[in-house]
A = this chain, B = another copy of it.
Amino acid sequence: MPVDPTCPVCQTAEIICGKWTLLLIRDLAEGHSRFCELERSLQGISPRTLSLRLRALEEEAIVERHTFAEVPPRVEYALTEKGRALLPLIDHMRSYGERWLGGTCANAADEQLPPVAAVA
């Protein structure tokens, strides 16, 4: 529900604000490409939600879906150029989080000095 559909900031927010979207994109960037693989790496996600997110991102041309007519069935997902263009933004968010929110992540390399004062 875009507040302002013509605002590029809001449009971008719409894309990345799904609960699992950012993690999903990150995992895709890291090479996880199959449904079950993503289901594992995104621990706690339901197949329904994963499917919905994947569809939405596919419609937005952020991920590509490649189906293999095999037995057992295989489907692989990958970021498009448009999707990879999101990665610097995610890095930017990580930088902010590390600098100002004191968070560290298994995937993140290093950690910066925490903010001076945090309101309780």
Contacts and interface: CB of A to CB of B under 8 A. Distances in A.
Contacts of A97: 7-12
Q: How many copies does the complex hold?
A: 2
Interface in A8-55: 8-13, 15-17, 19-20, 22-23, 26, 42, 44
A96 B101 contact: no
Most buried by B among A1, A15, A100, A111: A100
Given A9-B90, A9-B105, A108-B8, A3 B16 contact: no
9 contacts: A4-B105, A8-B98, A8-B101, A9-B93, A58-B109, A61-B109, A61-B118, A82-B114, A89-B89
Q: What 7 A-B pairs have minimum CB-CB distances, sorted nearest first?
A: A8-B97, A8-B103, A17-B17, A12-B93, A12-B97, A11-B101, A7-B105
Interface of A: 1, 3-13, 15-17, 19-20, 22-23, 26, 42, 44, 58-61, 80-82, 85-86, 88-90, 92-115, 117-119
Given A7-B105, A8-B101, 7 more contacts: A7-B97, A11-B97, A12-B94, A13-B22, A59-B109, A61-B115, A89-B89
